[in-house]
Structure 1
């Protein structure tokens, strides 16, 4: 009979494994969502941030999103306000953490928390008088690339709605906004406050930003060239890669090849969908 300690340890690890061993299968897309824990209280500190949009907060979230995409090799990262969404997918080999949901969620949370707070101490040091920003995360698998791609479409729609609501709450009482659509709130801001929402706020606030690893050509600096043996030094631009914000991304609801755009780095093919655009944008 094995020692009691071994039997107890096996029993405890069996219970632990119910959660810790949950993972996505090879080729299954996995989505990780990181969001601030009590983030609005942190972001609405008086005399520190401009509400509802502060470029410094966005810059810190961008840095945190880039770090996760870079370190964990995500297919795509997306951030808006105090939230960041990542999708992992590789049809040929296991993704980070061997696809374990709990490990992916905790590691992404750790990276976002560290990078956001490190960037924040440089960008808005006064905000840390009352403590650090905190984050939490969830992770789950999805049965198809189509559903995973549409997840980002949904997140972007939520971001657009939340951005309008945040701006409107800064001008009107909640009772005046109850039952109002996003378009109604835009009209209220224009007619009663003289503010054109789409013209006043940058796109980064209105819909968020997307990040992925991209290849690009650049010339090496003199310092970089000096570290390369003379007979091997390139005479022209070299190919490099880094995680960057994606420019000129159309609204996801209008992208016909959304799976190809998200997972295969295809250029977006935009289709004319007037009804979808009127509802989602």
Structure 2
């Protein structure tokens, strides 16, 4: 017997849940911390290393789970680029939009709060009760027509990171009134007048951090060794090739072969190298 009521409800649901991304086109993802302008009150200004470490850990977990070719974090946001060249391969969750947005936001929320709760416990004597709250994230996904445009998405966020970094550094020592109408270059000059060289800040604070999956030679952890049957278990200290998520230590704007470096993991050719 046909369930007309159930079929009608499923049809409503399917109009949204059937949205699927096109195969073989790059996918851009951006994950933002919700209301982080208030969440981050009480952290060190202009840049807090502990907060950055939480975002970097979260980015690594997102790359690990999603199979992204590259992950990038700056300020309170994370960007991912997903892509499958092989028509027989599948995107994360087959490119289903509702799955991507909901699950990636959930992974970010879980990973960040894991680190956040550890931080709260370690610093509980220094923290006001009002900051004992959990972080939440939203997520959006979209496609771009070419690999070059996917690279441009990252360049766009990297450019934003640089501008915001200079602004944050300046806001730590100048009032909004003093900074009103000042360009990024002018703000850097104002920092110099205070004895602060923006270029001296660490890379994560200036232009963000990238992560990608690589095969690396390393020792297995105790947990990994315990999961291997005893008769096949290597001796402690043995180094083996394993897939891991590692930092990609470059500023994309300074890489000449951007598409190859991002999508093929080709060795980056830096513009400074081309002039030699």
TM-score, normalization by structure 2: 0.86
Question: Unaligned regions of 5+ residues in structure 2, if any?
Answer: 122-126
- Specify the alignment match of 1:204 in structure 2: 204
- Specify the alignment match of 1:115 in structure 2: 111
Q: Using the alignment, how far apart are the partners of 1:270 and 1:128 within structure 2?
A: 47
- Tell whether 2:35 aligns with 1:38: yes
Aligned partners of 1:28 and 1:143 also within 8 Å = yes
Cα deviation for residue 94 of structure 1 reads 1.4
- Specify the alignment match of 2:120 in structure 1: 124
- Specify the alignment match of 2:124 in structure 1: none
Q: Cα gap change, 1:237/1:149 in structure 2, threshold over 3 Å: closer, same or farther?
A: same
- Specify the alignment match of 2:83 in structure 1: 89
Q: Cα gap change, 1:91/1:153 in structure 2, threshold over 3 Å: closer, same or farther?
A: same
TM-score, normalization by structure 1: 0.84
Question: Is 169-178 or 106-115 further displaced after alignment?
Answer: 169-178
Cα deviation for residue 231 of structure 1 reads 7.5
Q: Using the alignment, how far apart are the partners of 2:242 and 2:217 within structure 1?
A: 6
Is the partner of 2:271 in helix, strand or coil?
coil
Q: Using the alignment, how far apart are the partners of 1:226 and 1:34 within structure 2?
A: 33
- Specify the alignment match of 1:64 in structure 2: 58
- Specify the alignment match of 2:152 in structure 1: 150
- Specify the alignment match of 1:133 in structure 2: 135
Is the partner of 1:35 in helix, strand or coil?
strand
- Specify the alignment match of 2:244 in structure 1: 242
Cα RMSD for the two superposed structures: 2.7
Question: Unaligned regions of 5+ residues in structure 1, if any?
Answer: 274-281
- Specify the alignment match of 2:162 in structure 1: 160
Q: Cα gap change, 1:72/1:145 in structure 2, threshold over 3 Å: closer, same or farther?
A: same
Is the partner of 1:124 in helix, strand or coil?
helix
Q: Using the alignment, how far apart are the partners of 1:55 and 1:157 within structure 2?
A: 21
- List per-residue Cα deviations over 1:220-257 (Å, max 9, x = no partner): 5799399566688489642111112223x1x3223221
Q: Give the number of equivalent residue pairs.
A: 264
